């Protein structure tokens, strides 16, 4: 970052990451996002992702799912575009080698014609662990990378990455959002295989020094951004670790991780577009827009969860949190939240501004 950057320069840069609402803008300019997920067993997770992205302000949200999930998901909302193009073994039965290749080619043909339209793709919510389905998704990831499309991986997408980490290692536009157990599995897989002192069994991975552990993991994975979800969300790209510990809600209803994926995907698409401009102030804030996006997504979700819990207490469900997203985006991101983010990045540049009490940053050891 530019050591001479002033606070008044950062504030407009971060405010402008969120697209303006103006009469001359057209459909799609505020974000086109998609999720690869949804099978006959899991239909809620991809819906939570898509509706969260729409409530955040994305213009279009697509779901690529199996035929067994499509009708159910379509019944949830007419706002979401649903593509029943994925296949799982339950539908196809046992396939020979050539038949399996034919199915994968068919899936890729259906998905590929849409990929270039998306600003960000989320892999995993409601995906399931069917081997045929995961093989298809692995090829979708490879294709998306070839087009430089940002990826957010959650849920069963992380299960796939733990098995085949080479799919995202070294890809700068990948964001992983593991919970504590998923994080430990990644640590055991990535660090355990490359370091004799690291545990090879995820159950033996220590809970101590999560920031240092996360930074080592992100660095070993070639600079992907990782959001380790928990009581405190730790975020790292291998160079820096930032934490988000604003208290959201004590209610741990299912689906909140899918909301985080939707929020993060929106911020990734917006930030990347802003960073890509030749005169972008974004590059002066941070060279990695996915770090800003991950932090923004985490804090927004926590604020929305706090609002929902204040209203509904023990009966809070994920739908209540989703309904709070738009309001919190306006209040927190466009106004005071900008100052919080600025404080974080300013601290990275050794400015003397006081750190926000709910944000902490660690620098890479030298």
Burial of residue 91 (CB within 10 Å: 0-12, 13-18, 19+) is middle
Q: CATH number for the domain including 56?
A: 3.40.1190.20
Q: Which residues are annotated as a binding site?
A: 126, 179-185, 229-233, 248-258
Q: Which positions make up the binding site for ATP?
A: 229-233, 248-257
Report helix, strand or coil for 249.
coil
In the chain, how many domains are there? 1
The answer to whether the CB of 168 falls within 8 A of the CB of 123 is no
For 337, phi then psi, to 5°, come to -65, -30
Backbone phi and psi for residue 212, each to the nearest 5 degrees, phi listed first: -65, -40
Residue pointed to by tokens 């741990």: 252
pTM here?
0.83
Domain contains 91 = yes
The confidence score (pLDDT) of residue 2 equals: 35
From first to last of its 366 residues, what are the pLDDT tens digits of the chain? Answer: 333 333 344 445 556 678 777 788 878 778 899 999 999 999 999 999 999 999 988 999 999 999 999 999 999 999 999 999 999 887 776 777 778 888 889 999 999 999 999 999 999 999 999 999 999 999 999 999 999 999 999 999 999 999 999 999 999 999 999 998 999 899 888 887 555 555 566 667 777 778 888 999 999 999 999 999 988 899 999 988 888 888 888 888 888 999 999 999 999 998 887 777 656 555 556 667 888 888 888 888 998 999 999 999 999 999 999 999 988 777 665 554 444 444 444 334 333 323 333 333 333 333
Owning domain of residue 113: 7-352
> Residues 85-137: pLDDT tens digits?
999 887 776 777 778 888 889 999 999 999 999 999 999 999 999 999 999 99
Which pLDDT score is estimated for 208?
A: 76
In a domain, 362, yes or no: no
In a domain, 206, yes or no: yes
Q: What DSSP letter does each residue of 123-135 carry, written as one string?
A: E-TT----HHHHH
Taking a C-beta distance cutoff of 8 angstroms, is the pair 119, 154 a contact?
Answer: no
**Which residues contribute to the annotated binding site for (6S)-NADPHX?**
126, 179-185, 258
Which tokens hold the place of 140? Answer: 């979708």
Domain membership of residue 363 (yes or no) is no
Residues 190-203 have pLDDT tens digits of 887 555 555 566 66
* 241 within 8 A of 226, measured Cβ to Cβ: no
Q: Is residue 1 part of a domain?
A: no
| CA angle 46–52–53, rounded 5-degree value | 95
Query: Per the domain annotation, does 364 fall within a domain?
Result: no
Segments of 154-267 assigned E as strands? 174-176, 225-228, 233-236, 240-244
């Amino acid at each position: 970052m530019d050591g001479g950057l002033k606070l008044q320069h950062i504030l407009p840069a971060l405010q402008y990451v969120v697209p303006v609402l103006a009469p001359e803008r057209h459909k799609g300019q505020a974000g086109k996002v998609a999720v690869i997920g949804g099978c006959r067993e899991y239909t809620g997770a991809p819906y939570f992702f898509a509706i969260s992205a729409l409530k955040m302000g994305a213009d279009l949200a697509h779901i690529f799912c199996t035929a067994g999930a499509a009708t159910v998901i379509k019944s949830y909302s007419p706002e979401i575009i649903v593509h029943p193009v994925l296949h799982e073994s339950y539908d196809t039965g046992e396939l020979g080698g050539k038949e399996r290749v034919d199915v994968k080619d068919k899936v890729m043909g259906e998905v590929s014609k849409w990929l270039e339209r998306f600003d960000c793709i989320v892999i995993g919510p409601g995906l399931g662990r069917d081997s045929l389905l995961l093989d298809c998704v692995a090829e979708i990831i490879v294709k998306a990378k070839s087009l430089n499309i940002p990826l957010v991986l959650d849920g069963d997408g992380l299960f796939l990455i733990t098995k085949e980490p080479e799919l995202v290692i070294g890809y700068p536009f990948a964001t992983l959002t593991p919970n504590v157990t998923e994080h430990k599995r990644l640590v055991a897989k990535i660090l355990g295989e490359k370091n004799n002192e690291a545990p090879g069994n995820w159950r033996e991975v220590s809970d101590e020094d999560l920031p240092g552990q996360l930074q080592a993991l992100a660095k070993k994975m070639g600079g992907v951004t990782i959001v380790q979800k928990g009581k405190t969300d730790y975020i790292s790209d291998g160079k820096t670790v930032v934490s988000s510990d604003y208290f959201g809600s004590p209610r741990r209803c299912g689906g909140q991780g899918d909301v985080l994926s939707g929020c993060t995907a929106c911020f990734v698409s917006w930030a990347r577009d802003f960073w890509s401009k030749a005169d972008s102030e974004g590059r002066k804030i941070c060279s990695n827009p996915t770090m800003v996006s991950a932090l923004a997504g985490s804090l927004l979700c926590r604020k929305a969860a706090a609002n929902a819990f204040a209203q509904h207490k023990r009966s809070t469900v994920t739908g209540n949190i989703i309904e709070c997203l738009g309001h919190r985006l306006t209040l927190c991101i466009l106004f005071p939240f900008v100052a919080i983010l600025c404080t974080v990045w300013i601290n990275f540049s050794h400015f003397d501004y006081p750190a926000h009490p709910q944000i902490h940053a660690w620098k890479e050891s030298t």
